[in-house]
Structure 1
């Protein structure tokens, strides 16, 4: 490539990136979105997961985090972290957080997404030139439309790591182009590994798309001399690249296998007219639909392609057929599952929609490279008008769509016609190109603006408070009370976001992730802690017994009237993080069928009294009835007589309600609680009912619109003095000192301790424990907590966590790396020999190789 051509290619890529990023920024600024205005952008998972995760990454790098890449001590009382890192933080731009203070972590997350958009636009601009040569400046306009496609500004806007897939797709298509040309095998493998390491979820979708594009290009080329070798080369490139990223896949697969299963999702086929409406820019549907719009320029060119005879019929059929097949695959459940790794996504069912946007962009370039004339543009304009008319009544079409059609659409058609007429004349072509660029910028900015405005109208997408004065004050309070690993400082039950322990620090029970271990979720719920999202969002404890059990010495409680919204409270005596239990209470020897009994067992004392409920009966009052599952509570709205259960407890004790699935209101004197339980989906934590009065009697009244079932022992009464005594005794018999490393915890025990050492950590696969320096054995479970048998006597116990799947993943990566080194070395040794044997010099060899490629003949050459 000549220097001038190389400069034009670089300039085109830069133009695409600048246009895409400028459009996104203008759209955000127009609506006052951070960092251009006061409106927060931390909606949905961006606020609940990704801002806290990036803050935790900042902490880890600066030595202020709890744990390391293997283990997260902050959340869920100690949970695996490597799968979270690979899934949410492995994309290259996540490391921008290191360039900013922690209090400004929202800014590098925004910049990371913005740079991904720019990179995607630039890479698509370069790849379009591989499909067909043509002006890089015109390609840049389509690349910019792809960079700010509807998927990027809507579905992916709250998931910065997904936008990496937008950049990975043209990069993987470029790798497949090298396979088609039999070039750069090793480089291609490394780029595939980079794409999959950055975000394997969207990279898998992009890889499938790249394979489809390769097949379509082979079809367009007619009879290929060696299609099998091309496919084998492409397949080997993908396999070797994926093998290099094997630790990502195997660790995340193991974590997903051991995780709490998600709520089963029902698939609803998309309405075809709602789907077609998403071809139009600047719209947003209230339903789950594929967001595929690529801007008005790409849409007009795509609709003009069927009428453009300058494009060979085979090429037109290949592109339009491929687009139709991929679009149809989004409307059939088996292929939707195929696109999403055989699992129906929670939320949008069309996370792979950017694949269709990419194919539409490639087809649009096939038209733009030939400069469509009046007749094709007329045909495309008619189709655009028909599309607008048949989708006009769909909820995804808004006034912004009509503005885009009237202003940008008509202007684009006129500019394309002028571009055709100006062909061969330099200055008019430049003037028309500048007008087209302005239209692309205007249309893309309008689409980005419309997406944010329309999304903000949905209450579900209200932004979360992440980094502000309140959260900073909460972080200061939590860290000031931090005594880790002597005890834990919990950031809940007050809540800024679903992952507060990562956002503001401490070592709490809250944790929100797709990788919440099933063992952790089940154990914490059995102890009376709550959850949302079918157990994928765990909550901090709300009772003093759980806090003592997990060594919590302070916590943040909600206090709405206060300026900061929270108040920090100190707990009573808490157990150490490692306790010793007698050998006769081995797992399974005692059974606890409710949270109160289980806490008594683990605290080694009867701190909870579990009274037998007595149904309250009276004239016109429906009484709860005992059945095999517990207590059946009849429906009773607030304005009717309401059922109640009466219990007797020690005066002065603290009463708590265990009603994990109850949805309704609970009343006791001076206390009114609204519960929103839903079986398996939402589990209520133990709810405080207040202090038992001097009479020792307490009546709990239930009000619900539907009949529901309570556990057999729905009320427990906690004795503060018994809890303090139990915690003190556990400190006497438990660990003398506790030391916590990045993914280890060790304890020095009283001399000749025997029985079972129990850690205040949930037992999940990957833990191994050693007693007195002996060989490490897999950690065992003691009623859901990590345990290690001590034998007849021990003075030290230590447990270490190693992520399941990491060892085989590293072995696969090492094997793949060895293959790449061997191939690379062999090729370097082969090149001089080949040159000496043929007596040709390098320039002549390159010229002959190019000529042979153009004629359909390929030299036998090294696969580099």
Structure 2
């Protein structure tokens, strides 16, 4: 019987160079601990804030309720095959809008797929769980990065890596911005993962996995992934500058840079089928007014390092007092190599200053200053601060001199921030309590150094518990206070409740697409067709096309978000133009509150309307946004249905004469105030240009004498258009509807991203499809080849020659073909990279007995980073 073979030491298997594998693997424990701590603190903060689903108050502040909640509700229905449209087109919103770009903007994160696991009537719970999981993943990813920044033989204390990973995920940026804009959280996850890719490039490892990580990051949310990529590039630059030249594992920096560039290029190329569609969509999107960057005051900037601060226009830099003190100790920590201290301190300072300088502000935001929060890249600064904290504390607890220097810096920062308007009543108490607990933890850790072995473990564990309590407690209080302040200070939407369910039930019962549209009507929030079903005008997307916005504006529709959120218009003429056969009208039965789901009633009103495709005479096909909305409606309808009287204005009173019995409509898109017909209830208008445009409203019926008298109540002098009053003749409208129905399509069929209509024989002129024309639509009459769709006053148009009895239109998102070509090329290049790496690794394995690591051409021993070997050499008191 042959003797038993002696096992060959394997550092990958054993976990350390030349030694047995430790009983606990810090590479797994650190991210697991960070994830658990992050999830626990985030849930605790929600409970302290009494926010849904752990309390009665709504979480639907700003875009969370207006965009992300409706989009995730629609995403669930889409994934389960319960929508009219497909991945190219969304028939529900904006009278037909491209959807692939919205997927890439709001829904392409892998976490968003989890929405299918929740009931259809619990989208808020689904979105909360997805948000919590994203934040948890960010904490785990940062802990995984930190633990890998140390040599394999000296990985550093995994509890500290877990604590700092959780501090990153629970930063002020997360609570103030990321939790209410869930798509940005994918960038929070991406930053540490892309730094790991940079580490692989530096060490010449993972040539296939690296580009795949980049691709997933850019697919999940390319906007914040771009910022994370910039941050990872800075991380790599400093890692290369601080590498120990004597370290055998160090690789020449040109090769590392080339490998990093290759990973980014291939990864972005793989994401191109989605990213290029989004880029193309932004080119045609309704442009927002140009924003001039104004840096935050230095007092406000310093104040945002403290807990419980909230503001849109200042950078949310809070990472927790204990973590911040550790980061501030790096410049004073003599146990860390001087070049490491200098490089990382300079990087953190310069990146923080870049938040305040116009050119670097534009660089962080890809050349365009955003409308809204100008500090969306702040999560990168938070990540760099926590890396600095780890580099200072991982070799050993910082000595008293370093901690005193850090405490002095923190005290000066807190003192300088005392005048900031962003501070909360809880700011200084929370920071003070955390500082005291952290001080106690530091004293115990220092005492544990010289304590007998029997007491050393107990002191170390107690110090760790105090440090965790300080960091976690401060983060939980900060998160709760930020949520409470947001509910008080910004726009909010109520929770999903009986009111929305009543509307959804009526929509489902009445929906007749594509024979006609069903409009769910306005409810608090927005994007009702995505949330409740139906096919309406309301659409809130960063990619709402300029043509859609301008066309609807010209017809009297209102909008929010500077044009990117058209709202519904309850008007019988536009209902006829857009084939809205059923309109749901609803109202609340009790006041809408933050702390209760809303209740309301809903009824469906059905009226005869023309089909979705109508036939009009050929002629002028342009729309004039400056023209009277009443006149534009008539031109698109093809009939004169309004009396447009001369309006006399005396102060705040308007007078005119109209035929008795007609309906009085008032159109004043820039007007903010009320307008009331004599003896009728006032109608509210909320025009606040350029952000908000007021929709046309009905005021009542013209009395028997024909005199129209409108009283205006406004702050300041009302701004009115040239023709603010129109009197609608319902008889003329009924005649126009009957004519368009008789000459329009006899049958309409819709597919996921197309539409076909059968027309009466001999139809001439132009077939008008009640869908706003957007780039990507191609139409044809009869058997002709499809061509780029024409426009008839902003809607799709197909010329008719009297011979064709069928028209068809299909939509293909701009950029999808180029994106597919780039993605295919990147995939082939990645496959070639993998094959070459595997062949090189096999040749290396054939030439040595040291074993081979997958997809690398070097032995296992060359894994650790050079900078960390320098730590071990220079550290004192270890």
Say yes or no: TM over 0.5. Answer: yes
The equivalent of 2:504 in structure 1 is 475
Q: Cα–Cα, structure 1 residues 762 and 6, in superposed 2: closer, same or farther, change >3 Å?
A: farther
Partner SS state of residue 419, structure 2: coil
The equivalent of 1:645 in structure 2 is 655
Partner SS state of residue 752, structure 1: coil
After TM superposition, the structure 1 = structure 2 runs for residues 279-358 of structure 1, keeping only pairs within 5 Å, are 279-280=305-306, 282-286=307-311, 288-358=313-383
For residue 511 of structure 1, the aligned residue among 530, 539, 548 is 539
Q: Cα–Cα, structure 1 residues 825 and 155, in superposed 2: closer, same or farther, change >3 Å?
A: same
The answer (yes or no) to whether the contact 2:845–2:852 under 8 Å persists in 1 is no
CA shift for structure 1 position 844: 10
Per-residue CA distance 1:455-501 (angstroms, 9 max, x = gap)? 2332x244x12421111111111221111111111111x32312111
Quote the Cα distance in structure 2 between the aligned partners of 1:63 and 1:853: 48
Q: Cα–Cα, structure 1 residues 765 and 9, in superposed 2: closer, same or farther, change >3 Å?
A: same
CA shift for structure 1 position 549: 1.2
The answer (yes or no) to whether the contact 1:377–1:417 under 8 Å persists in 2 is no
After TM superposition, the structure 1 = structure 2 runs for residues 421-500 of structure 1, keeping only pairs within 5 Å, are 421-423=447-449, 425-458=456-489, 460-462=490-492, 464-492=493-521, 494-500=522-528
Quote the Cα distance in structure 1 between the aligned partners of 2:688 and 2:736: 34
The equivalent of 1:60 in structure 2 is 78
After TM superposition, the structure 1 = structure 2 runs for residues 71-220 of structure 1, keeping only pairs within 5 Å, are 71-132=89-150, 133-220=155-242
The equivalent of 1:21 in structure 2 is 39
Quote the Cα distance in structure 2 between the aligned partners of 1:844 and 1:713: 76
CA shift for structure 1 position 303: 2.0
After TM superposition, the structure 1 = structure 2 runs for residues 823-834 of structure 1, keeping only pairs within 5 Å, are 823-834=833-844
Quote the Cα distance in structure 1 between the aligned partners of 2:267 and 2:483: 37
Quote the Cα distance in structure 1 between the aligned partners of 2:324 and 2:102: 38
Instruction: List runs of 5+ in structure 1 lacking aligned partners.
Output: 617-622, 624-635, 637-641, 858-864
The answer (yes or no) to whether the contact 1:551–1:574 under 8 Å persists in 2 is yes
CA shift for structure 1 position 790: 2.1
After TM superposition, the structure 1 = structure 2 runs for residues 266-665 of structure 1, keeping only pairs within 5 Å, are 266-280=292-306, 282-286=307-311, 288-369=313-394, 370-423=396-449, 425-458=456-489, 460-462=490-492, 464-492=493-521, 494-560=522-588, 564-583=599-618, 585=619, 587=621, 593-613=627-647, 615=648, 623=650, 636=651, 642-646=652-656, 648-665=657-674
For residue 746 of structure 1, the aligned residue among 737, 748, 756 is 756
Q: Cα–Cα, structure 1 residues 403 and 589, in superposed 2: closer, same or farther, change >3 Å?
A: closer
CA shift for structure 1 position 788: 0.9
CA shift for structure 1 position 713: 2.5
1:264 and 2:290 are equivalent in the alignment: yes
Quote the Cα distance in structure 1 between the aligned partners of 2:750 and 2:551: 22
Quote the Cα distance in structure 2 between the aligned partners of 1:127 and 1:482: 51
Quote the Cα distance in structure 2 between the aligned partners of 1:331 and 1:843: 48
The equivalent of 1:628 in structure 2 is none
Partner SS state of residue 489, structure 1: strand
Partner SS state of residue 50, structure 2: coil
Q: Cα–Cα, structure 1 residues 688 and 852, in superposed 2: closer, same or farther, change >3 Å?
A: closer
Partner SS state of residue 524, structure 1: helix
CA shift for structure 1 position 560: 4.5
Quote the Cα distance in structure 2 between the aligned partners of 1:848 and 1:43: 52
CA shift for structure 1 position 856: 7.9
Quote the Cα distance in structure 1 between the aligned partners of 2:827 and 2:476: 44
Partner SS state of residue 684, structure 1: coil
Quote the Cα distance in structure 1 between the aligned partners of 2:295 and 2:625: 47
The answer (yes or no) to whether the contact 1:650–1:692 under 8 Å persists in 2 is yes
The answer (yes or no) to whether the contact 1:51–1:466 under 8 Å persists in 2 is no
Per-residue CA distance 1:73-116 (angstroms, 9 max, x = gap)? 11111111111111111111111110011111111211111111
Q: Cα–Cα, structure 1 residues 537 and 436, in superposed 2: closer, same or farther, change >3 Å?
A: same
Partner SS state of residue 733, structure 2: helix
For residue 816 of structure 2, the aligned residue among 806, 820, 837 is 806
Per-residue CA distance 1:719-739 (angstroms, 9 max, x = gap)? 111111211111111010111
1:789 and 2:824 are equivalent in the alignment: no
Quote the Cα distance in structure 1 between the aligned partners of 2:259 and 2:44: 43
For residue 230 of structure 1, the aligned residue among 252, 256, 271 is 256
The answer (yes or no) to whether the contact 1:556–1:566 under 8 Å persists in 2 is no
CA shift for structure 1 position 301: 0.7
Q: Cα–Cα, structure 1 residues 177 and 754, in superposed 2: closer, same or farther, change >3 Å?
A: same
Partner SS state of residue 275, structure 1: helix
1:11 and 2:29 are equivalent in the alignment: yes
1:678 and 2:688 are equivalent in the alignment: yes
Q: Cα–Cα, structure 1 residues 592 and 707, in superposed 2: closer, same or farther, change >3 Å?
A: closer
Q: Cα–Cα, structure 1 residues 605 and 122, in superposed 2: closer, same or farther, change >3 Å?
A: same
Quote the Cα distance in structure 2 between the aligned partners of 1:378 and 1:831: 50
The answer (yes or no) to whether the contact 1:20–1:444 under 8 Å persists in 2 is no
The equivalent of 2:677 in structure 1 is 668
Quote the Cα distance in structure 1 between the aligned partners of 2:297 and 2:692: 31
CA shift for structure 1 position 171: 0.4
The answer (yes or no) to whether the contact 1:662–1:678 under 8 Å persists in 2 is yes
The answer (yes or no) to whether the contact 2:554–2:623 under 8 Å persists in 1 is no
Partner SS state of residue 22, structure 2: helix
Quote the Cα distance in structure 2 between the aligned partners of 1:407 and 1:661: 50
* Aligned residue pairs, count: 826
Quote the Cα distance in structure 2 between the aligned partners of 1:196 and 1:688: 47
Quote the Cα distance in structure 1 between the aligned partners of 2:119 and 2:149: 43
Q: Cα–Cα, structure 1 residues 52 and 295, in superposed 2: closer, same or farther, change >3 Å?
A: same
The equivalent of 2:273 in structure 1 is 247
Q: Cα–Cα, structure 1 residues 74 and 114, in superposed 2: closer, same or farther, change >3 Å?
A: same
CA shift for structure 1 position 13: 1.3
CA shift for structure 1 position 58: 1.1
CA shift for structure 1 position 10: 1.1
Quote the Cα distance in structure 2 between the aligned partners of 1:164 and 1:104: 23
Instruction: List runs of 5+ in structure 2 lacking aligned partners.
Output: 1-11, 16-20, 591-597, 868-878
Per-residue CA distance 1:337-388 (angstroms, 9 max, x = gap)? 2112222222211111110100000000011113112222222222222222
Q: Cα–Cα, structure 1 residues 856 and 285, in superposed 2: closer, same or farther, change >3 Å?
A: closer
CA shift for structure 1 position 708: 4.7
CA shift for structure 1 position 852: 5.5
CA shift for structure 1 position 69: 1.7
* Farther-moved stretch of structure 1 (842-851 vs 817-826): 842-851
CA shift for structure 1 position 547: 0.8
The answer (yes or no) to whether the contact 2:672–2:686 under 8 Å persists in 1 is yes
The equivalent of 2:57 in structure 1 is 39
Q: TM-score, normalised by structure 1?
A: 0.91
Quote the Cα distance in structure 1 between the aligned partners of 2:547 and 2:585: 27
The answer (yes or no) to whether the contact 2:772–2:794 under 8 Å persists in 1 is yes
Quote the Cα distance in structure 1 between the aligned partners of 2:350 and 2:572: 58
Q: Cα–Cα, structure 1 residues 171 and 591, in superposed 2: closer, same or farther, change >3 Å?
A: closer
* Farther-moved stretch of structure 1 (259-268 vs 116-125): 259-268
